[in-house]
Structure 1
Amino acid sequence: MTTATVTEDLYPTRLAQAREPIRRSHPTVWGDAAAGPFTGEELNAHEARGFTILQDFVTADEVAAFTGELDRLSQDEALKDDPRVVTEKATGQVRSIFEVPALSEQLDALSRDPRLLDRARQLLGSDVYLHQSRINYMPGFKGTGFYWHSDFETWHAEDGMPTPRSVSCSIALTQNYPFNGGLMVMPGSHTVFVPCVGETPEDNYKSSLKAQEIGVPSEADITALADEFGIDQFTGPAGSALWFDCNIMHGSGNNITPFPRSNVFLVFNSVENTLVEPFGASAPRPEHVAHHDFTPLR
């Protein structure tokens, strides 16, 4: 499908000079309690915090099946030089595998599962399509984290996502302890968009998917956000799901424990928020990183 046309950039970023953070002008929750599984109270909490944790979202058998797919794909020699496979910068171990529904029937079925679609449609108030998908793997001892960032900042600047009308679902395939590189979030920070300084290099995704350096906020901005919103963490057993707004500030530390951490990561975007030309890059990222098939998921 073709991209839409947007004339005004409400969330400018990748700037030559720093500017003040922008208070978000769009809602986080677009639907209501009658439209899906979340109750009115849960929707209000999600609107305020920018994230929701659901325990036992998938079964133990499903966790085992998805973990088997991670192992199969990470060991597939045919994918060794595939651009969809991202490796750790220092060790060469698999870090992420993108576009997983195209590589796995089980993960394709998961992306269309009513347990996910009904919640994504309710939060975004429309039909949805899959903007991005991947399996993440953080091995024990050597797994490296990700610096503080807003996903929407990157998706806006480099993919051309017009507004923050997108939601991510991260399903834990391993126990998420407070000490094995679990995801940290700043509750409520999704209400503030932080413009970042620095021009986007050509093919920035090739390095940013290993270690993001462009499109990250300053230490002063991170400090101000932490002072205002505090920091929480996604912990819980395998099978738990974290639903989080695309603009929430989040990051993860290195995993120096013996306990690996892995998850399935699916990004749902509203069909009323389809991609246009990038707002802060000379060319869009490739299809396996940011999909341009806007067909609603069924």
Structure 2
Amino acid sequence: MRAIVPTLWADGSAAAVADFYTSVFRDARETNRTHYPTEGLPDFQQHMAGEILTLDLEIHGLRISVINAGDEFRPNPAAGFMVNLDPAFLEDPRGYLDSLFAALSEGGRVLMELGEYPFSPRYAWVEDRFGVSWQLILTDPTGEPRPTVLPALMFCGPAQNRAVEAGRAYTNLFPGSRLGTAVHYPQQTGPATTDGVMFSEFRLGPAQDDPREEFWVTAMDSAVEQDFTFTPGFSLLVEAEGQEEIDRLWAALSRHPEDEQCGWCRDAFGLSWQIVPADLGELMRAPGAHQALMGMKKIEIAGFGTHGLLSNPH
């Protein structure tokens, strides 16, 4: 496994998303973009010919990809990001938090007001104008270092009270992973039972020399009944090293065959994943590659050719 990349679905607005985040965050830049082919697209994609297909960002060291597509999906608060503002590594973290709150909430909505909470002297939860949720937290500089930006999952609806189970499943799937802190609810709180967690964290993949470069995920169970759950509006893309790893991850994660398409699958908790070859960008340069990918469910590397399209096994 080369990397896990949080991916956002954008309704034709990938460039606007990138421009917004690179203007809001102190350390953010665009790293790559790909485009739809100009010919050979299926009918429902014809209007996207030549347009941006994916746009990759790096925000405080975290790779984030934005998919430019239709209006089928939109991110929601079940999956977003936590911004870990650590005074040990950031200058004026409180001021930075307040500026992020002002920028991200403009045109969006506030899910938890900016203020002091038992778990942090400064915290807020906002959903920005594109539907992406951000938890902004001033953290204890004496704790273990964590990345500045982390994916944040909220287990609710059909996934309620399964955050701990999911953390165990995901860490068992990726070599070198480990569980971190887990704070359980002391009593039934709304739909959250004592098996549920107010906060938990886990690392996917091996340790790094600098812990801030590791891939950590936070997870919680909702204490309020929600009318939403995970959707493809937020997914985790895994760059797999070869067909064998693709096959292993697909077998472990895909639990909804009706949702399998172009390397996308949905797991037992409803979270969407993209399992792709680490060299997908190179494979997609082959003639006919887009058509081949559109015909696949699980990606079969043999379906792409370096000098033309091989026969598609599907």
Q: Into which bin does the TM-score normalised by the smaller protein fall?
A: under 0.3
Per the normalisation by structure 2, the TM-score is: 0.25
Per the normalisation by structure 1, the TM-score is: 0.26
Rg larger in structure: 2
Q: Structure with the greater relative contact order (CA < 8 A, sep ≥ 6): 1 or 2?
A: 1
